[in-house]
Amino acid sequence: MAVEWVVAAGVFMAASAALWGLSAWMTRRIEAAVPSNGRFLEVDGERFHYVDEGKGPPLVMIHGLMGSSRNLTYALAAQLREHFRVITLDRPGSGYSTRRKGTGADLPSQARQVATFIQTLDLGQPLVLGHSLGGAISLALALDHPHAVSGLVLVAPLTHPQRMLPLVFLSLAVRPAWLRRWVSRTLTVPIGMLSSGAVVKGVFAPDPAPADFATRGGGLLGMRPDNFYAASTEINLVNDYLPEMVKRYPQLRLPIGLIYGSRDKVLDFRKHGQALADKVPGLKLQLVEGRGHMLPITATERVAALVEQVAKRSKPVASATVLHPPFALASK
């Protein structure tokens, strides 16, 4: 029996090493196909990657779970950069931004990191747009750091606790942390390559996904080991903090725009959108009939129009100065 256990352990270690090597090779291929396309900024020991374009009052855009800035620069940024200075960031652990061991992944920590990012870039009180999980972080930002935001544009945001993960994200429900790390380093990339079509289809449903979403939209980046580990860590923490946030929603007094697709398969507009509107005085939910979760790509004009509406209701803020080295490091 002891010999059998030794053999089994040896096979497991060999298989893990092979998968680890395969994942590392495929990660390099992904990064060659989808390179960084913005600037880097050091914030509290983390390296933020962000895209900065346009002129006007600042607008900070925050992507969702397993996403990157490319989700929002795919189509939306181009609609807005004529009237706004659009800063689209990779959240820590996503895209090309780092999340080191010990850096918080919960909603309050991410809100604090975004607030520090805004302060470091000297943006004053920008308008903030958050999509999906980025919407939950935007709400935490407004609740905990009201000085850092003049208004919110919430696009299909996560707003309330969910007992079950959306089906397309069930693979992220990995606990404990050591198992999450092993899965991320061995299985994530090869399984992701095999199942990516179904996942993207599920996130966009019922809308068709663009043929170039994997590259231009950054879809491939979410399959890398570090991105999977970060996303799995985040989603396993959200329900710890959302209940307390829900209690505080009636305190929100800043201008807010709220929009969902009526056929969103990821976050139901009734449980998250209408439930939020019922708690925030004066907030009205806008629905895009027949659309799904990825409104920044599938309903770009509607989202851009909502940004303009909220901007008109927000307190005027001075256009911020673009930072260059040594504050903002050029893309490598």
In this predicted model, what pLDDT tens digit does every residue of 251-281 receive, in sequence order?
999 999 999 999 999 999 999 999 999 999 9
pLDDT at site 10? 63
Q: What integer is the mean pLDDT of 202-217? A: 96
Model confidence band, residue 6 (pLDDT cutoffs 50, 70, 90): low
Q: Which fold has domain 39-161+237-313?
A: Rossmann fold (3.40.50)
Please determine, for residue 31, whether its predicted confidence score (pLDDT) is greater than 70.
yes
Report yes or no: 13 and 306 within 8 Å, Cβ to Cβ.
Answer: no
Nearest C-alpha neighbor of 294 from the set 258, 264, 262: 264
Which residues are CB-contacts of 260 (< 8 A; sequence separation ≥ 6)? 156, 267, 269, 272, 273, 285, 286, 287, 288, 295
pLDDT at site 332? 37
* 66 CA to centre of own chain: 6
Report yes or no: 189 and 224 within 8 Å, Cβ to Cβ.
Answer: yes
Q: What integer is the mean pLDDT of 241-259? A: 97
How far, in Å, CA of 192 to CA of 199, rounded? Answer: 9
How far, in Å, CA of 308 to CA of 299, rounded? Answer: 15
Q: What integer is the mean pLDDT of 234-251? A: 95
Model confidence band, residue 325 (pLDDT cutoffs 50, 70, 90): very low
Pairing of strands 85-89, 46-53: antiparallel
Strands ordered across the beta sheet of 127-131 = 39-43, 46-53, 85-89, 58-62, 127-131, 151-155, 256-261, 285-288
Model confidence band, residue 184 (pLDDT cutoffs 50, 70, 90): confident
Q: What is the DSSP letter of 158?
A: -
Model confidence band, residue 327 (pLDDT cutoffs 50, 70, 90): very low
Q: What integer is the mean pLDDT of 303-327? A: 70
pLDDT at site 167? 72
Q: What integer is the mean pLDDT of 168-179? A: 73
Kindly state the percentage of the chain with pLDDT values over 90.
Answer: 70
pLDDT at site 21? 81
Give residue limits of the domains in the chain: 39-161+237-313
Please determine, for residue 126, whether its predicted confidence score (pLDDT) is greater than 60.
yes
Q: What is the DSSP letter of 259?
A: E
Please determine, for residue 319, whether its predicted confidence score (pLDDT) is greater than 60.
no
Burial call 308-324: b when 16+ CB within 10 Å, e when fewer: eebbeebeebeebeeee
How far, in Å, CA of 123 to CA of 320, rounded? Answer: 5
Tokens matching residue 52: 């900065």
* Phi, psi at 47, each rounded to 5°: -105, 105
Q: What is the DSSP letter of 236?
A: T
Please determine, for residue 188, whether its predicted confidence score (pLDDT) is greater than 90.
no
In the chain, beta strands by DSSP E: 39-43, 46-53, 58-62, 85-89, 127-131, 151-155, 256-261, 285-288
**At 102, is the secondary structure helix, strand, or coil?**
coil
Q: 14: buried, middle or exposed (CB in 10 Å: 19+, 13-18, 0-12)?
A: exposed
Which amino acid, residue 183? V
Report yes or no: 305 and 129 within 8 Å, Cβ to Cβ.
Answer: no
* Phi, psi at 42, each rounded to 5°: -80, 125
Which stretch of 42-46, 62-66, 131-135 has the lowest confidence by average pLDDT? 42-46
